[in-house]
Chains A and B, each alone.
Chain A
Amino acid sequence: MRHVSEYALAIKLTELRVPQHAIRGKDVRLECHYDMEGEALYSVKWYKDGSEFYRYVPRDDPPQQTFPTEGATVNVQNSTNSHVTLESINMLSGGKYRCEVSAEAPSFQTVAENGDMMVVVLPESDPVITGGKPRYQIGDHVRVNCTSARSKPAVQLTWYINSELADPSYVRQYPTIVSITPDHLETAILGLEFRIKPKHFRRGDLKLKCLATISTVYWKSNEESMESDKPQKAPILESRKSGLSSISRADRVQASNRGPPLQASNKTLLTMLCVLYVVLNAVQTCLFVR
């Protein structure tokens, strides 16, 4: 019989990499790293939501075996004893992924780790601000809506006034509109209503920005600028677009190091400062999620 002391050095599962969000249609690589501590490997099993879809058993021939599972189509060539590649994930690919590593007889020590993955559908267009006027006077009522394009899950909309988070009392929430398409994409709408006060004008300008985000994988905004109705300055209506390209975010850790790539914008300093502010915000958010 064996003794507990024999397993003083037990096998360990050192790292499980399962992306939190994955873009529909893309391939996803799931990684499972372990340390056998001298034990022989009996099996590595991958489960999605409790169902085994891939196993690697060295003593089997072939050692790899896949089991058809919805949303988890394995690219056997791109899979080994320590990682598995899912091809072109779809909406059903989201779920709980589990890697279970067992040692060979006699101990059959078994370690396992779970990771959740969400499948994301990005909006095909930027958010749109509607209802704005070119000129406003102090005391005028501003009534605007921001509407995102369809996505999964629904984008998160946020209003900024002069690059400052709008007072929550100005914000009007509207229910999300779920499309009747098979993938149930959602459209988000957020309203902004307020009475213009002198402080809203900065050098005669009032800037309203709508920011649309999906976790960290999508980041787009739209801004409108309105002139004061005072004669000293010619009114300018300027619309500016900005956004983070939601490129595949394979590695959050790396992402935090590199930061999102900046997009060249217009020449104004204000815009530059604003971009800088947003970038800093994003960095903070990433750190928080982590």
Chain B
Amino acid sequence: MNDTRLPITTVSGVLSKQASLPCDITPLERDDAVYMVLWFKEDDNEPLYNFDVRGRQVAQARLSSSDKYFGKRAFFRATSHPAQLLVDDIKLSDEGMYRCRVDFRNSPTRNLKINFTVIVPPDRPIIYDSRRREKANTVEPYSEGSDIALICEVKGGRPRPNVTWYLDNSVIDESFETRPDGTTVNHLSYPNIGRQHLDARLMCVASNTNLTPPNNKVVVLDVNLKPVAVHIMAKEKFVSADKRYEIECKSSGSRPEAAISWWKGTRLLKRITKNFSETGNQSLSVISYTPTVDDDGKYLTCRAENPLIPDSAIEDKWRLVVHYMPIVTLKMGSSLNPDDIKEGDDIYFDCHIQSNPKPYKLAWYHDGNELHHNVTAGIILSDHSLALQGVSRSLAGDYTCMAANTEGRGTSNHVTLRVRYAPVCAVDREELLGALKHETLQLKCEVDASPPAESFHWTFNSSGEQTELPSRLHSSETGLSRLNYTPTSDLDYGTISCWGRNAIGVQKSPCVFQVVAAGRPFALQNCSVSNQSADSLHIECIEGFDGGLPQMFLLELVEVPVLRLVRNLSLQHPPVQFFIDNLEPGSSYRIILFAANAKGRSEPVIIDDITFKGVAKYTAALTLTVALLFAVVCIVLATIYRRHASKNTTKKLKPTKTAQLTSTPDCQLDSSMHHQTHDPNGIQTPLVDSGGGMGRRGSPTMGGEPPDGDETDPDVIPNQYERRPPKTTLPTPLFRSPSARLIHRNGGEHLLHEEERHCDGSSLASLTGSNTEVHHYSFKPSKQISYATLGRANNSSVTSTLSPLSQQASTATLPLPSMSVTGVGAVGSLLSSPASQSLVTSTLNEYRFRPEVVTTSNRIQESCI
């Protein structure tokens, strides 16, 4: 049937699918009808299908399909327009040229040609990456900005398929090539993947017909994204050093999550960061950061980067302003040699301050005390320095400077200013020492000096004569010198001075020791009653000067008004504390306290009106005061009298008012007192001829002086007090601790002898050590008075006076063999004399302002008489 004039229809069918071969059987004429339809393939004479409608309805047409061709696979559907031969399960061999011959009843036969082609779909596309690895549903992530290079390969297909790349339904690459091996390949190269391509569908489509859906393969793009933003959340204007800050940094846009790192300058901060991931490609990092002073001005950088994308890091920087307490350094002026600053030099300090913000205050301290600008005192504060003009040693010490800003105060190191000066006495008082003859005293001379004193010399001064003491008597160490001094005669009592020397010079004012002959102890001081109950009490006193000898402490309890001695207590050692109990309630008592040594007893301290029925403590304070004062006057008088009378060696004394006040009759004091009492006119004389022993003492000048009211008491050693400078506000002489003295005295005889031998050949007289000679030691009563009085002045509640009863007690208690009981005194009415009271008061006032104690005593003495 190679008649080219026949119309040819081209029809395709897909392998294994159904195909349709059209054939129009509609007659041209209305009254015509189909008669027969014959299907032929190519030049085969035998029809492969016939449709015979002759003599029947179309629906009942006789059908026949040749097994040589379609067999059961074919069915002619005459009712469709056009009619079609439906062929199932198309095979490759079905392809070819078909002819359909339609016979009509009345009109010419219709011959139609159908060129049938069989389409074989291609295999499913396979996507490879550039390394020819097959990709499943996703391709490995592409980094933002990179290029996609993928290969889509499709095997088979007839005709060869079109292989096309789609990106989200739009064609991006239609260029494919067919290889001799029958595969069709499309190399996709898509540049510059961006953020918008995340999760995009990349599809390779292989198609060679539109009869069936094309084969395709989809991969979803995964894109690694660069971080877009990074922000340090709160950039404070400033931060404080050493305070902990939690600083947040947020980054967004990175996929996977950005790696955030913190940098200070170029240094990576590691341990103190915490990272959190948040939703939507966001990440957060918190740094726990404590700025330091050194961080001021540095940059804190937060860096976010996608570790999978090189050069993806972005940064946010924060210039740190760190506020901190001032850092203060103090230096002495560089031109100064700190080891060579003498009194009078000008010096300065520099205070270096490192601070942010600037300090609002700068202060200077000397040993912790703030310094103020004072030009007259030579203290000049300028910008950052301190100048001291003409430094004195009082300005020596530690210096600091302090700067304050809003962050706090910073104090510098301290710089010690050492001012070199000549030695000065460490103790700003004279020391009073009592000594028996041949008793060796150890004097300790301590001086302050810078540099410390290297050498010392000692002088003895008596009656205006100054004698250098031989250096063998003293031993020196740094800043300290000791002198062993043994008076052997009356002439050896006097003022001993100690002078230190260092590189700066010799001490200007020496350290002064008054060595006096040993005497009676001083009265107890500051006696107070405490813990008083219904039948007991506690008394505490401070011991006074021991007079140069070991002292003991006595307490007498006398019931009043009957004056019966109830209790008698003694203490060998301080502290002076007595406890009395088992007292009768309802009774009143008087307590008499005194100290005693080998030279005698001190003035008593009387505490009156102790009543054990309710609290009746110190009720008659005023009365007691008066009584005390009166008693003191009387003692003075008695002493003078006693001294005066001692030469006569009166064994028996008539008990007079004054006599009652005296203590031991054999005391020199007593005798002189008696003497003076009885002969008021001989005041000036008695000392000169006081005892035979006394006569050996070389003090004629003193004794020869005419008696004057203002003149010194004609005592053994009056000069030391006369020389005392008036500026001394506290005239109390320094005396060595009585306790220490007491210890020293224990077994004193041995000591004395030893020292005696040691002091052989000295200018001092050697100590003979006989008991009788003890009597020759006398103590200046006036001094004692003043001492006691002053002590009283501080405590009006304590009254000291002489008690007639105490005489007996003392004689009984004192074990010293040299003491002898002279008599028992009766109670004198002197205590209550109003005249003497007023007199004493006036004298005291006078005394208080005048150093001439002895003169005052004399007056009292006179008035008392």
A residues within 8 Å of B by Cβ?
1-2, 4, 7, 10-11, 43, 45, 47, 49-53, 55, 59, 65, 67, 96, 98, 102, 105-112, 114
B67–A112 touching, CB < 8 Å: no
B153-196 interface bits toward A, Cβ cutoff 8 Å, 1 = contact, 0 = none: 00000000000000000000000000000000000000000000
A112–B108 touching, CB < 8 Å: no
B residues within 8 Å of A by Cβ?
1-3, 5-6, 36, 38, 40, 45-47, 50, 52, 54, 62, 64, 66-68, 101, 103, 106-109, 111
A51–B108 touching, CB < 8 Å: yes
A–B complex contacts, Cβ < 8 Å, 29 sampled: A1-B67, A2-B66, A4-B68, A7-B46, A10-B46, A45-B109, A47-B109, A49-B5, A50-B111, A53-B108, A55-B109, A67-B107, A96-B3, A102-B38, A105-B50, A105-B52, A105-B62, A106-B64, A108-B38, A108-B46, A108-B50, A109-B45, A109-B47, A110-B38, A110-B46, A110-B101, A111-B45, A112-B1, A114-B2
Q: How far is the CB of A29 from chain B (nearest CB, A)?
A: 22
C-alpha spacing A106/B64, complex, angstroms: 8
Q: Which residues of B contact A7 (CB under 8 A)?
A: 46
C-alpha spacing A114/B54, complex, angstroms: 28
Q: Which residues of A contact B54 (CB under 8 A)?
A: 59
Q: Which residues of B contact A49 (CB under 8 A)?
A: 5
Q: How far is the CB of A107 from chain B (nearest CB, A)?
A: 7
Q: Which residues of B contact A43 (CB under 8 A)?
A: 103
C-alpha spacing A11/B47, complex, angstroms: 13
For B7, the closest partner residue in chain A by CB is A50
Q: How far is the CB of B190 from chain A (nearest CB, A)?
A: 55
A109–B109 touching, CB < 8 Å: no
Given A4-B68, A109-B47, A110-B101, 15 other A-B residues pairs in contact with their CB atoms under 8 A: A47-B3, A50-B3, A50-B6, A51-B108, A59-B54, A102-B38, A105-B62, A106-B64, A107-B46, A108-B36, A108-B46, A109-B45, A110-B46, A111-B45, A114-B3
Q: Which residues of A contact B52 (CB under 8 A)?
A: 105
Q: Which residues of B contact A96 (CB under 8 A)?
A: 3, 5
Known contacts A96-B3, A98-B3, A105-B62: A110-B109 contact under CB 8 Å = no
Q: Which residues of A contact B66 (CB under 8 A)?
A: 2
Q: Which residues of A contact B101 (CB under 8 A)?
A: 110
Instruction: Pick the most buried of A50, A67, A102: most chain B CB atoms within 10 A of its CB.
Output: A50
For B50, the closest partner residue in chain A by CB is A108
Q: Which residues of B contact A2 (CB under 8 A)?
A: 66
For B111, the closest partner residue in chain A by CB is A50
In the A-B complex, list the 9 residue pairs whose CB atoms are closest, starting with the nearest. Answer: A52-B108, A50-B5, A67-B108, A52-B109, A109-B45, A108-B47, A108-B50, A50-B3, A111-B45
Q: Which residues of A contact B64 (CB under 8 A)?
A: 106
Q: Which residues of B contact A110 (CB under 8 A)?
A: 38, 40, 45-47, 101
Q: How far is the CB of B763 from chain A (nearest CB, A)?
A: 176
C-alpha spacing A108/B48, complex, angstroms: 10
For B107, the closest partner residue in chain A by CB is A67
C-alpha spacing A99/B101, complex, angstroms: 14
Instruction: Pick the most buried of A7, A55, A106, A108: most chain B CB atoms within 10 A of its CB.
Output: A108
C-alpha spacing A47/B161, complex, angstroms: 42
C-alpha spacing A120/B54, complex, angstroms: 42
Q: Which residues of B contact A102 (CB under 8 A)?
A: 38
C-alpha spacing A49/B108, complex, angstroms: 13
C-alpha spacing A67/B108, complex, angstroms: 7
Q: Which residues of B contact A109 (CB under 8 A)?
A: 45-47
B111–A10 touching, CB < 8 Å: no
Q: Which residues of B contact A50 (CB under 8 A)?
A: 3, 5-6, 111
Q: Which residues of B contact A106 (CB under 8 A)?
A: 64
B45–A10 touching, CB < 8 Å: yes
For A105, the closest partner residue in chain B by CB is B52
Q: How far is the CB of B242 from chain A (nearest CB, A)?
A: 107
For A12, the closest partner residue in chain B by CB is B45
C-alpha spacing A2/B69, complex, angstroms: 13
C-alpha spacing A178/B75, complex, angstroms: 56
